[in-house]
Amino acid sequence: MLSVNRCTHYYVKRIRNQFKYKLGEGAHGTVFKGKLSSDFFDAVKVLNNSKGNGEEFIHEVGTMSHIHHVNVVRLVGFCADGFIRALVYELLPNGSLQSFISSADTKGCNLFWDKLQDIALGIAKGAEYLYHGCDRRILHFDIKPRTVLLDYNFTPKLSDFGLAKLCSKDQSLVSMTKARGTTG
């Protein structure tokens, strides 16, 4: 297992450069560009609605720290300082798949059918790993072009586990009392 750094709120604020470089915003928080180490840039997701004593959040961090797959974004740090909750992930330079399939400005890159097929296969491998390859099954519930991030080689990585549900390996049915996922 790779180590996951625990950060204070002050440290998270410092690595995300005082809110200067906003990468995006979702239902569960805002993502900023930051630098946890001198070698790599990171994506720092500051979560909204931090409730309770943080036990559920720490449990989620524990689960995410055990996930290591080429098609799943890597958690490198977290902050659970008072009511402040933040997740620090590897930063993927090509952003989301959404920006390449729905924008006229595709950063000078065209995704041809063979690359799109590789991306689709990578997404399927990541989802299969989450469901079958982890100690506990992880149901993502929110895989869409905006939550699929692309690295330098356009290798897809699943991200945004805000709506994910953890299940035991022997659980064959999952009860859902309400609709899950976000529009898109």
Tokens of 33: 């560009």
Name the catalytic one among 39, 81, 135, 142.
142
Which residues have CB under 8 Å from 38's CB, separation 6+? none
The Cα 34–Cα 79 span in angstroms is: 14
65: nearest Cα among 77, 56, 82: 77
Tokens matching residue 11: 């440290």
Residue whose tokens read 């805002």? 30
Q: What distance in Å separates the CA atoms of residue 82 and residue 77, rounded to the nearest whole number? A: 16
How many residues in total does the chain contain?
184
Q: How far apart are the first and last CA of the chain?
A: 33
Question: Is 142 marked active-site?
Answer: yes
Give the angle 22-24-30 at the CA atoms, nearest 5°: 80
Catalytic residues: 142
